């Protein structure tokens, strides 16, 4: 029997009505059988300060790092701010990147983005992929999912109303499951 796959979801936006959170929830609703996704909140993580880091571990960062370590993969849905990663979310990655037993190291990661503009966050994904490369994550290459004009693709209840978007995200999650299995085999040598 195939082992269960547990995913952690990180949303790059903190706002309540976040379209990226809706995209993440959509991903959680179209997962293959045996795969589950828990969206993890990171709003309590303080701004990174190397002096504070030097004083000892931050409990919120430790808790998030452990959630990621325990997960079989991470799904990130993030907005694009000024062509790049939202500062508050980059801050979280910076915190997680310090110390031993790196949570993202050899961790399968899938990235999607939603934006009100037509490109759907195409630029932020390449910045995020670059950052994920440095923390040794195993990022799913394809299919890429860019949800442009996202304000027209989810209803007031947060349900996806666009069949093409639902299909893209479904395909990505199917490929992510396969990628996680491949990563398991690679890690086993």
Residues in touch with ligand FNR (CB under 6 A): 13, 15, 18-20, 79-83, 114-117, 119, 121
Residue 35, C-beta contacts closer than 8 angstroms, at least 6 positions apart: 4, 5, 6, 7, 173, 177
- Of 75 and 115, the one with the shorter C-beta distance to ligand FNR is 115
**Which helix (H) or strand (E) segment is 72 a member of?**
none
Distance of closest approach, residue 74 Cβ to ligand FNR, in angstroms = 17
- Of 12 and 108, the one with the shorter C-beta distance to ligand FNR is 12
Distance from C-alpha of 109 to C-alpha of 75, rounded to nearest angstrom:
6
Distance of closest approach, residue 148 Cβ to ligand FNR, in angstroms = 8
CA-based torsion, 144, 40, 102, 81: positive or negative: positive
Distance of closest approach, residue 30 Cβ to ligand FNR, in angstroms = 18
- Of 46 and 87, the one with the shorter C-beta distance to ligand FNR is 87
- Of 58 and 165, the one with the shorter C-beta distance to ligand FNR is 165
Distance of closest approach, residue 120 Cβ to ligand FNR, in angstroms = 7
**Which helix (H) or strand (E) segment is 66 a member of?**
helix 59-70
Partners of 112 in beta bridges: 77, 145
């Amino acid at each position: 029997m195939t082992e269960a796959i547990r995913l952690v979801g990180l949303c790059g936006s903190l706002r309540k009505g976040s379209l990226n959170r809706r995209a993440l929830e959509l991903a959680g609703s179209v997962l293959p059988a045996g795969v589950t996704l828990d969206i993890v909140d990171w709003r309590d993580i303080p701004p990174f300060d190397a002096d504070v880091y030097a004083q000892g571990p931050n409990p919120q960062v430790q808790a998030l790092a452990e959630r990621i370590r325990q997960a079989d993969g991470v799904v990130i849905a993030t907005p694009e701010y000024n062509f790049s990663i939202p500062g508050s979310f980059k801050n979280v990655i910076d915190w997680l990147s310090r110390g031993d037993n790196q949570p993202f190291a050899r961790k399968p990661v899938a990235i999607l983005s939603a934006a009100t503009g037509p490109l759907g966050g195409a630029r932020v994904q390449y910045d995020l992929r670059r950052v994920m490369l440095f923390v040794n994550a195993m990022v799913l290459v394809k299919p890429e999912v860019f949800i442009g004009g996202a304000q027209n693709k989810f209803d007031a209840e947060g349900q996806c109303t666009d069949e093409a978007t639902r299909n893209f995200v479904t395909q990505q999650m199917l490929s992510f499951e396969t990628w996680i299995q491949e990563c398991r085999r690679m890690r086993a040598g």
